[in-house]
Amino acid sequence: MDKPSQRKALRAIVANVSDRAGQSEKIASILQNTSLPSGSMCVYNSLPSEVDTKAIIEYFSKSRQVYLPVVDGEDILLVKVDKDTKYQAGSWGISEPIGDRLSPKDVRPAVTITPLLGVDKKLNRLGKGKGYYDRYFASVDTFKIGLAFEEQVLDEVVCDKWDKPLDLVVTPNGIIR
């Protein structure tokens, strides 16, 4: 199977995920009780089809500097967020924070929580195909965490030589290391 075929199959699987809210709550709880590297954190702002990150952003904003990614051409820039941050519609229908856009190289988040379509038990991540996080991970040394509904964990995802494996995956059933 190639990446486009696997992405198509995973989009269909993700569209039919059951108990999205319940799984997201379990994932957030597990992540909040996991020992992570100290320092700032980059967290994606979730789409309705993804693991909901609102509770994660709110929780970690109380104890860390939290940044959300915004799309800038072919790259990701980071905006620091807190409870008073305002948002606007951005690329791909994602709500993006309004604020100073900083280079990931300048912020150097200790932890990055990344979206995914699929992941395997070897921590290989299949993204959506635009390469934003591939370029981001190539430029920043960060602890990479994926959040996955149980339906998104596969035996194997298709990888290319430039794909960087995650350091940790959190599912509603626990942690994959």
The domain spanning residue 57 has which CATH number? 3.40.50.10420
Task: Indicate the number of domains in the chain.
Answer: 1
| Domain-located, residue 99 | yes
pTM for the model: 0.94
Handedness of CA 153, 156, 162, 167 (dihedral sign): positive
Q: Which residues contact 36 (CB under 8 A, 6 or more apart)?
A: 110, 111, 143, 145
> What residue numbers bound the domain in which 129 lies?
3-172
What mean pLDDT comes out for the span 147-162? Answer: 93
Distance, CA of 22 to CA of 20 (rounded, Å): 6
Q: Is residue 108 helix, strand or coil?
A: coil
| Domain-located, residue 147 | yes
| Domain-located, residue 177 | no
Task: Select from 173, 152, 172 the least CA-distant residue to 13.
Answer: 152
Task: Yes or no: say if 143 and 36 are a contact pair by the CB < 8 Å rule.
Answer: yes
* Arithmetic mean of pLDDT over the chain: 94
pLDDT digits (tens, 9 = 90+) for 117-146: 999 999 999 998 788 898 999 999 999 999
pLDDT digits (tens, 9 = 90+) for 91-102: 667 889 999 999
The three-point CA angle 169-19-155 to 5° equals 40
The three-point CA angle 77-83-86 to 5° equals 55
| Domain-located, residue 155 | yes
Going from the C-alpha of 136 to that of each of 43, 59, 78, 85, 97, the distances in angstroms are 13, 24, 11, 23, 18
